[in-house]
Amino acid sequence: MQEYIEKIAMCVLKGKVRRTSVFPPDMQGQDGADEIAADALSKGIPPKVLLEGCMLGMDRIGKEFSERRAFVTNLVVSAGAMNAVLKHLKPYLESGEVQRKGKFVIGTVAGDLHDIGKNLVSMIITGGGYEVIDLGVDVSTQKFLDAIAKNPGCSVGLSALLTTTMQSMDKSVKVIKNTYPNMKVLIGGAPVSISFCNQIGADFYSPNASEAVDYLNNVTA
């Protein structure tokens, strides 16, 4: 089973979606995540093994990205390979045979229409084994509250790129924490800092998305 974990992890790390994919050049003609996942399931390999491979691969590409040895395009193709595996795992996830670690609600705060950073975090947290509920951009405080109510036990992430929308983030965090005192609230975005995180009462900030997965693993363990 370890062999399949490593094969899936390598495909996710390299962004090898399927055999016909031209990227990456050094893996042309080799099976990709799609074929390897199908082959594993046909041989009776437990579905959770494939999820472990996705998690390992996304952890590796996330760390390379944080160390500036990988770029946004690498994360995008890695997400493509991960999604090829998740397509095969969908029936097992829906039936509950394969369990996610938890749920994570994320959105860009009200007044902000930027989503690149949010999307990158969503990819890495999905690859970390969590079900991500992405609310999109320009998300009102009430929309966050509604999503939290529908997903008991979740954690929540708020993103902002504009300094002008940090006030919206402040408001949303305070209302969320007042309504759900035990809710773990993560924040991120270009203008955000650890001091701002502490100031508004959020629980976690890091410019490194893979550290968000580590934090979630610790608080949901």
Residue-wise pLDDT tens digits, 187-217? 999 899 999 999 999 999 988 888 899 999 9
55 in Cβ contact with 6 (< 8 Å):
no
Rounded average pLDDT per 10-residue block, the chain, 221 residues: 95 96 94 97 95 94 89 92 95 89 97 91 92 97 98 96 95 98 95 96 90 91 64
* 127: CATH: 3.40.50.280
Q: How many Å apart are CA 136 and CA 117, to the nearest integer?
A: 12
- What letter would DSSP give residue 70? S
Residue-wise pLDDT tens digits, 148-157? 999 999 999 9
- Domain boundary among the residues 95, 115, 136 is at 95
Angle ∠(85,90,95) on CA atoms, nearest 5: 140
What residue numbers bound the domain in which 132 lies? Answer: 103-220
Same domain, residue pair 115 and 213: yes
User: Cα–chain-centroid distance for residue 165?
Assistant: 23
User: Cα–chain-centroid distance for residue 74?
Assistant: 15
Q: Return the structure tokens found at 109.
A: 């705060």
Same domain, residue pair 162 and 87: no
Same domain, residue pair 211 and 113: yes
pLDDT for the residue numbered 221: 64
DSSP string, 10-54: HHHHHT--STT---SGGGTTS--HHHHHHHHHHTT--HHHHHHHH
